[in-house]
Structure 1
Amino acid sequence: MLLSLLAYLIGETNIPDTSYQTVDIELAKELLESGEYTLIDVRSQSEYDDEHIIGAHLIPCEELETRINELNKDKNYMIICRSGNRSKKACMILAAYGFKNILNIDGGIKKWYNTNEKVSKH
């Protein structure tokens, strides 16, 4: 399965996106407020330091596989990045490792920031 994921990431094949769902900002906010999901920010440390959603846990996309043991397969995770590309890759990685309850936030923090809600700027 990992080879399939790698092939997908470099554009060699098409893996269907059925292993996770993409949600819009409004639904993402509702689900986070419910406490049922943990938000994972997969941007870089410097991007996170510039601005991030309050309560988000930083695990940069390039570190996700080496830090996978920090996450629990039985929990629900919502993934965000700047615009949605890295979060989609992160969702595919999590799915390849057997995570089931994964949501990708459509539009990333750029779209979230436009709502002017729960963003910490440094």
Structure 2
Amino acid sequence: MPTSLNDWLRILENRMLYLSSEAAEQVRLSAKEGKCEGLPLRVAALVQEDGSFHYAIGFEDTPKDEDVRFSDKGVDLIVAPASAGNTGRSMYPFEEIDPATLASWLEKGESVRLIDVRSPAEYAQGIIEGGELMPLHLIPLQMPEAKEGEKLVIYCRTGMRSGQACGFLSQQGKDGALNLRGGIVAWAQQGLPISRADKDVSVG
């Protein structure tokens, strides 16, 4: 995701937002599961007073004049300019952190609750140390929250499913969930450690 307003404007001008093959497949799967097939994925940035960004993603086909529309890997995308306002009733903002930030928190011993929304099979292949298995479909049932003074970080393989989880929690009024940008793939690509999951990876 872009980290500055200039980056965002450059994306709008040059249509530089690309999806990995894995992310494109996850978008299609999410659209099917959410009965949103045929709707484009809208990505918007909300600029905060301190200049930082919150991101809002969702399936929505109510383009505005300033939106940029294009396709990548068979996925229709709408990129909205950065703004200080709400982006629509079906768009729910959430915050992101990068792997280096999470690694720093864990190294310092800060209180972090890590939720892994991948499948049990993916979880069994390796996790971020402390990751708690809670597949995406269980998020509405278990509604994870952080204790007082604790950070809630949600991750998946590439950041798409965890972004959905953060957006859902925001929709339900549960603010504060942080999406790990790029997921466990980005974590591993930065040389950060992957741990073995417990033998028992049952959920429920």
- TM-score, structure 1 as length reference: 0.77
Counterpart amino acid of residue 104 in structure 2: E
Larger Rg: 2
- Kindly indicate which of the two structures has a greater share of residues assigned to helix: 1
Structure 1 segments of 4+ aligned residues over 3 angstroms from their partners? 6-10, 70-75
Unaligned runs of 5+ in 1: 1-5
Residue 30, structure 1, aligned to residue 104, structure 2 = yes
Unaligned runs of 5+ in 2: 1-33, 37-41, 43-56, 62-87, 198-204
Distance 1:80 1:106, change over 3 A: same
**Stretch of structure 1 that moved more, 7-16 or 25-34:** 7-16
- TM-score, structure 2 as length reference: 0.49
Percent of aligned pairs with the same amino acid: 30
Q: Secondary structure at the match of 2:163?
A: helix
Question: Could you give the per-residue CA deviations for residues 32-90 of structure 1, whole angstroms, max 9, x where no partner exists?
Answer: 3342321111100100001111111010111111122x535755210100001001000
Q: Secondary structure at the match of 1:52?
A: coil
Superposed CA RMSD = 2.6
Structure 2 CA distance for aligned equivalents of residues 32 and 99 of structure 1: 23
Distance 1:30 1:62, change over 3 A: same
Please tell me whether the aligned partners of residues 58 and 92 of structure 2 are also in contact (alpha carbons under 8 angstroms): no
In the TM superposition, 1:34-113 aligns within 5 A as 34-68=109-143, 71-72=145-146, 74=148, 75-113=150-188
Please tell me whether the aligned partners of residues 115 and 155 of structure 2 are also in contact (alpha carbons under 8 angstroms): yes
Please tell me whether the aligned partners of residues 41 and 57 of structure 1 are also in contact (alpha carbons under 8 angstroms): yes
The structure, 1 or 2, with the larger RCO (C-alpha pairs under 8 Å, 6+ apart) is: 1
